[in-house]
Amino acid sequence: MRKHPEIGAEIIGHHSSGLLRMAHLMALTHHEKWNGTGYPYQLEGEDIPIEGRIVAIADVFDALTTARPYKKAWTVSDAVSYLKQEAGQHFDPALIPLFLEHLPEIIEIKERWPETNDEPKTK
């Protein structure tokens, strides 16, 4: 499990494309934590690329609010409480308010593209 950021980055590889370079960086750094206790490199604070800091929040929110074979989905309210609690520890404290500012749009996307269905829901 702790190797998946490096494995994902390796799968994406190194490219001249800006989009693929960003995807590589996101894969590699999305499990770093603001306080330096993350992995794979124990980067801290702004040493973590902004792309990884953003994806860390989205990844945890999605993981918490999505049912898994081993756990039930958390409520959005519980997930938001967790994000706020972990601001400055796990997450960049400046990014949590920005994420929450866009929460209605994020929930709309999450509902439109559920993991159980590859087809988007139509309105």
Contact indicator for 91, 84 with CB cutoff of 8 Å: no
- Give the pLDDT confidence score for residue 119 in this predicted structure: 55
Whole-prediction pTM: 0.89
- Our CA angle for 23, 24, 26, nearest 5°, is 60
Average of per-residue pLDDT across 6-35? 96
Give 40-83 pLDDT, tens digit per residue. Answer: 999 999 999 999 999 999 999 999 999 999 999 999 999 999 99
pLDDT surpasses 70 at 120: no
CA–CA separation, 120 and 122 (whole Å): 6
Structural domains in the chain? 4-112 (1.10.3210.10)
Give the residue from 43, 51, 47 showing the smallest Cα distance to 21.
Answer: 51
